[in-house]
Amino acid sequence: MVSVLLTEQLKRVKEVLATWKKVDDTVSQLCSTSGAAVSAPIGTACSTNFNITAGLVGFLSGNFSGKTWRDEYLGVNATVKKNVGAKKTDNGVQFQGAWAEWPVGAQGQNQLYHFANYNFTLVATVSMHNVPKSG
């Protein structure tokens, strides 16, 4: 029989739970502040009958440096590909001619993130400044 003190682990669990609560509160307010909930179709993220935080496993917002877009939910970070001029802004991350990959399904059969095989929610707020031209 082995006895182990888990004080540090319990402290970390409490920190993670507090972070999840904070992010849930932030994400819950995304639609209500813009008026989008009033005009949103039923069953979409901003409709009044949809809980946007149900199944939330990731929130990509403004925590960015280098090529890493950090998950505010303390889960899987995204990587910005073709990172030319990507930069942090007041309300998120701005990049042009690039894309972000969230690699939860990259492990194949040895899936560390089993939630990726089922329904889950990832929130990333996006603004398009110009419509891409074809060709």
d(CA 135, CA 129): 18
Query: Secondary structure of the chain in the HEC alphabet?
Result: CCCCCCHHHHHHHHHHHHHHHHHHHHHHHHHHCCCHHHHCCCCCCCCCCCCCCCCEEEEEEEEEECCEEEECCCCCCEEEECCCCCEEECCEEECCCCEEECCCCCCCCCCCCHHHHCCCEEEECCCCCCCCCCC
What is the pLDDT at residue 37? 45
User: Which residue range forms the structural domain that includes residue 42?
Assistant: 8-124
- Span 9-28, average pLDDT: 90
The answer to the question of residue 88 being in a domain is yes
The answer to the question of residue 21 being in a domain is yes
Q: How would residue 36 be classed by pLDDT, with cut points 50, 70 and 90? A: very low
The answer to the question of residue 2 being in a domain is no
The answer to the question of residue 39 being in a domain is yes
What is the pLDDT at residue 130? 73
Quote the number of domains for the chain: 1
Q: How would residue 127 be classed by pLDDT, with cut points 50, 70 and 90? A: low
The answer to the question of residue 92 being in a domain is yes
What is the pLDDT at residue 41? 53
The answer to the question of residue 112 being in a domain is yes
What is the pLDDT at residue 19? 93
The answer to the question of residue 18 being in a domain is yes
pLDDT in tens, 68-125: 889 888 888 888 887 777 778 777 788 777 788 888 777 666 666 777 667 777 777 6
Structure-block tokens of residue 69: 């877009």
The answer to the question of residue 42 being in a domain is yes
